[in-house]
Amino acid sequence: MKRKLFLIVALALIVIVAACGREEECTNNADQGVEYFFDQDQTETETITVWLDDEDYATALIEAFEAANPGIRVRFQEVGSVDVRQQLELYSGSSAAADVVVFPHDHIGAALQSNLLYVVEGQLELDLRERMILSATETASACYDFNDNRVIECEGDAQRYLFGAPLSGESVALFYNRALLEELTGSPEPAQTFEQIIDEFYEHQDVLEELYGELMIALDVGNAYDMHFLATAFGFELFGPEGLDSDQANLDSDEMIAALTYMQDVLRPALNNFTSGDLDGESNRNLFESGDLPYIIDGPWSIPRYLDADLDFGVTRIPTINGQQPVTFSGVQMAAVYSQTQNEDAAFRFLEFMTSDEGLAIMYETTNRLPALEDVSVIGELDDDEYLSGISDQLNYSVPMPIIPEMGYFWDNAGSMYGDAWNGSKDADEAAQDAQSGFDSSR
């Protein structure tokens, strides 16, 4: 029996060699992502590689996808999302590059400059634009010259192409301690305005200073990401209306100066004149975690920490300031197909599954990340998650961090501007002018 099997295999090899001896060249199907499994009725199976940063998520997602798509096998490699773009650039053009990747939205500009991303078109594009948060899909869109492989200005009838699929979003929001608020104010419900928070501080200042951490609310005032909400409440626009004009950093604008003036004259006294050094993020979180702080501006990354502390807390959108709803920076994780994939159809089928309700439910269940959906109620379990629902509420009043390269110069100068203005080492106008000068000289 073994001899017969050997002869059959040998004859098969002879046929293959003979076929390769003809005029056409032999092709290595493995290089094209094709594998043959003879124990599966000799069905042809396509293999794609995906880069994700969470093994539990990848395992559950791939298992569900392969069950629904038996003709496609998925190879997972764990790559940190912040490292994806550089890794893809390094392996671009080789079989080591992934077919589907996930990375932060602010890497998309550089990825397009390196021609790394495939356009999302057809029904999938329409579906994503309809279901996902508008600001997220807009960030993943660009006008593009495919002849020169470069992003161009969106002028006239220029088409905006979609290059990525939003997966998850995050933003800072207002966290509040229900038990402490009820003890202080008689109600566990959070304030709807900053004016109310300030009034509560002055009304209960003696009790706060005697029994708790002396603060009604804590802000990381030297952190430009966290403090962006304050500037937008006064009409500040970073890099213009679309966040793409590097000539409009606007750090010395009337709107920014008004925000810094409010910070100096109104907010700092209501935070007991603490310095920016006293209000760093970790100190604030420690205070909230210990149950001695009614309010904090924080993000979803801190939710597990506060749950472990057994706090009775809630999360909601940031209160209005002078009647204006603050707009925060949001961060969005994007999924995309590699522009040189040899497995286009399979890669896009995986992308479509990732962004389906089923795929996003798997992401939420395994990572506790918030899907970037306009309506999160379609994910049943998430609809009952009061904490991420509060983050989702704020995401409807957020804009993704700009993706242009000059964003790095903003971080370098805006943080110092907020800190200097808060501490009073510079008045609002001087702090704003110095920040703008620093930005301009960095370019």
DSSP per position, 262-273 = HIIIIIHHHTTT
pLDDT band for 382, please (50, 70, 90 cuts).
confident
- Tokens standing for 60? 């559950």
Q: Which long-range contacts (CB under 8 A, 24 or more apart) does 24-33 make?
A: 31/95, 31/342, 32/342, 32/343, 33/99, 33/342, 33/343, 33/346
Strands (E) located in 196-323:
217-218, 295-298, 313-316
Listed residue (364, 384, 39) closest to 170, CA to CA: 364
Higher local confidence (pLDDT), 221 or 1: 221
Strands of 141-145's sheet in order across:
150-152, 141-145, 160-162
Give the pLDDT score at 43: 55
41 band by pLDDT with thresholds 50, 70 and 90: very low
**Environment class of residue 398 by beta-carbon count within 10 Å: exposed (0-12), middle (13-18) or buried (19+)?**
buried
4 vs 255, more confident = 255
Report whether pLDDT(168) > 70.
Answer: yes
Q: Give the DSSP H/E element, type plus range, for residue 261.
A: helix 254-262
Read off the amino acid at residue 294.
Answer: P
| Of the candidate ranges 35-39, 152-156, 333-337, 425-429, the one whose mean pLDDT is the lowest | 35-39
Of the pLDDT bands very low, low, confident and very high (cuts 50, 70, 90), residue 439 is very high
Give the chain's mean pLDDT: 89
Instruction: Give me the mean pLDDT over the 95-124 stretch.
Output: 93
pLDDT at 64 over 60: yes
Say what the pLDDT of residue 407 is.
87
Which domains are present in the chain? 30-163+331-395 (3.40.190.10), 172-327+403-442 (3.40.190.10)
> What pLDDT, in 10s, does the model give residues 124-140?
999 999 999 888 898 88
- Residue found by looking up tokens 């390769």 in the block: 20
Which stretches does DSSP call E strand in 178-225? Answer: 217-218
Residue 379 has pLDDT above 70, yes or no: yes
For residue 162, the model assigns a pLDDT of 96
Amino acid 12: pLDDT: 44
pLDDT, position 256: 98
User: Phi and psi dihedrals of 406, rounded to 5?
Assistant: -70, -5
Cα 169 versus chain centre, distance: 5
34-37 and 43-52 strand pairing: antiparallel
Q: How far apart are CA 7 and CA 383, in angstroms?
A: 62
* Both structure tokens of 282: 């970790």
pLDDT band at 24 (very low <50, low <70, confident <90, very high): very low
Tell me what pLDDT residue 152 has. Answer: 83
Name 331's bridge partners: 170
d(CA 274, CA 271): 6
7 has pLDDT over 70:
no
Paired tokens of 105: 């939205």
Encode pLDDT of 307-324 as tens digits. Answer: 999 999 999 999 999 999
173-177 and 295-298 beta bridge pairing? antiparallel
The band of 376, judged by pLDDT with boundaries at 50, 70 and 90, is: confident
